[in-house]
Chain A
């Protein structure tokens, strides 16, 4: 029993240690980041960065990469504001549904053609941003009947409505990836694609689900943020991709596919939220936060790479290269 727990918890030891250390350091350095307020602000991070990171993680586990999540979140935020006359639940549902449909289409194209998701999503990243500007009329827009957003501003101890929704999505995502056939197929396609396809795992369906989940999560994140703030601006969220990727990798999702769980994403998001909350409490500018996020991201991929090199029996440098090359669509 204890042995089983130890082997289960091993992949989480490093992220957990990192979270504890950053939490202690930041709460010592920042007097405002303590107690209930600090837990609340970290949980709030789950409803924007967290959801985006969760979606991104699904594509990473499938051995792909969805670069369009930032633009998708911005577009969903604009759609939410435009459809706000349908009520709070209505507009969030419409925006999220748009994201799911777009992501599914994107997944079908990538899966059927076997093209590089890294490159194809650069195209959609640009296109979605353009659509965001068109729909919003090139300026920030606000929700006219702002009283519909009131339920989102309630606070229950350490939770808000949006963080509860985000946590619910995290738990659902975890159940889906761990216990369903479709979820396991995502791991199979990402871990060893040729073997998985040979064993009968359908590539197109798996990638369609992965990309639908990433776009859907990003849209939900954008929709929640728009309803919380009561507005949306077309230029928003272009740094979400960086933050989301950093959260995934900080938590221990592998860039090479097939490894990592939703719990890893949760750790990554928590670490990043603590760091960002600490920096923000000290009045740090947005560009410095971006600098720190970029530096963290580089450090983490460095550590992941070194760990892969040092563990002789596991996927070494060469296997990883083969896999990262597959992201170019060369192995279709």
Chain B
């Protein structure tokens, strides 16, 4: 109760401080990386960081409304994106029309997401629900593909790795998607309602906002992001397995948390998650270039997430006390 009451004074803090906390380390990280790693500023390397950040970013940005509405994070991210990728590739391989395939994958994922949204809206723990849903999705796809690699066969689908006027498609999609969602969260009624539900659930409910609708819409937006990520990867590689996207869950959650979106909801924005994705990609790229082992990279990433959670919480609390 006390925490709910003390949210309001936190507003006195200047608005630019929290974003600065995210962008500051990102810029500092890039400078340090550039100094200690000679190949870092190589145009090819920059492009590969941006591509990687875009894929993580699309998912992290899409998950932001979910977190903002007070529903924590999903633990079934990899599995859902993988399902989208496998479905996209498999349907093209069956000789489907590309546009029809994209629509089917999009609607399919949104339906699965909204189903989870309904379950969570009924009052169930979102983390456990998405964990269980992820296990079910993985099981179904593994059974359906029998563990084999699915491919588009002779269908010419490699546009996912292509570019428009010199800019890779995945980066364009990332920028547009982030812009759209940022506008939506700050300028539309649905967006404002989502933030209010996360900031103060009781007040939101008294104000007549439907918690169920906000949760289901957040899950739907999240699923659109997952579908886009799956389709882009599918269109880039032309083949997929049930083990695609092994680290997406970890990376997207890390990006969102490092971006500074409050895990309890109410504070944060898609733009910050996008910055978080950039920071995470820079960190992992730097570690790859400096020959860190996969285990070392994982350990550092986990430490960064834990530290981000603790630091942001401490910072927020200091803001409240003042």
Task: Tell me the A residues contacting B by CB distance below 8 Å.
Answer: 65, 67, 109, 113-116, 118-120, 122-134, 138, 194, 234, 239, 241-242, 245-246, 249, 255, 285, 287-295, 297-298, 301-302, 305, 317, 320-321, 324-325, 327-332
Contacts and interface: CB of A to CB of B under 8 A. Distances in A.
Given A287-B138, A330-B4, A305 B132 contact: no
Contacts of B310: 109, 113, 115, 120
A134 B132 contact: no
Contact of A129 (B128, B135, B302): B302
Contacts of A294: 131-136, 139
B125 A291 contact: no
A331 B139 contact: no
Contacts of A120: 306, 309-310
B297 interface: yes
Given A241-B131, A324-B125, 7 more contacts: A119-B72, A123-B302, A127-B299, A291-B135, A291-B136, A317-B123, A328-B263
13 contacts: A65-B127, A131-B299, A133-B298, A138-B294, A242-B131, A285-B142, A287-B142, A287-B143, A295-B132, A298-B133, A301-B132, A317-B123, A330-B4
Contacts of B263: 116, 118-119, 328-329
B309 A115 contact: yes
Contacts, number: 176
Interface string B252-284: 011001000001110000000000000000000
A324 B75 CA distance: 17
A323 to B, nearest CB: 10
Residue with the greatest number of chain A CB neighbours at <10 A, chosen from B3, B139, B308: B139
Nearest to A132: B295
A326 to B, nearest CB: 9
Instruction: Tell me what chain B mostly uses at the interface: helix, strand, loop, or mixed.
Output: helix
B119 interface: yes
A122 B253 contact: yes
Interface residues of B, number: 57
A134 B293 contact: yes
Contact of A126 (B72, B264, B296, B301): B301
Interface of B: 1-4, 70, 72-73, 75, 119, 122-125, 127-129, 131-136, 138-140, 142-143, 147, 201, 242, 250, 253-254, 257, 263-265, 293-310, 313-314
A300 B307 CA distance: 34
Contacts of B308: 123
Contacts of A317: 123
A287 B75 CA distance: 17
Contact of B132 (A116, A289, A298): A298
A301 B129 contact: yes
Contacts of A128: 302
Contacts of A126: 250, 254, 298-299, 301-302, 305
Contacts of A329: 263-264, 313
B303 A133 contact: no
Contacts of B313: 113-115, 329
A310 to B, nearest CB: 13
Contacts of A293: 135
Contact of B135 (A134, A239, A325, A331): A239
A44 B96 CA distance: 49
A321 B123 contact: yes
B294 to A, nearest CB: 6
A246 B124 CA distance: 14
Contacts of B139: 287-292, 294
A119 B73 contact: yes
B147 to A, nearest CB: 8
A255 B125 contact: yes
A292 B142 CA distance: 13
A234 B309 CA distance: 26
A194 B299 CA distance: 35
Q: Give 5 nearest A-B pairs by CB, closest first.
A: A291-B139, A133-B295, A127-B302, A130-B299, A130-B298
A287 B242 contact: yes
B171 to A, nearest CB: 26
A134 B125 contact: no
B306 A130 contact: no
Nearest to B126: A324
A31 to B, nearest CB: 24
A129 B313 CA distance: 24
A126 B3 CA distance: 29
A121 to B, nearest CB: 9
Contacts of B72: 116, 118-119, 328
Contact of A331 (B1, B134, B142, B147): B1
Contacts of A320: 123
Given A109-B310, A116-B72, A302-B119, A130 B300 contact: yes
Contacts of B300: 130
Contacts of B125: 255, 301, 324, 327
Contacts of B299: 126-127, 129-131, 133-134
A130 B143 contact: no
Contacts of A245: 128, 131
A324 B302 contact: no
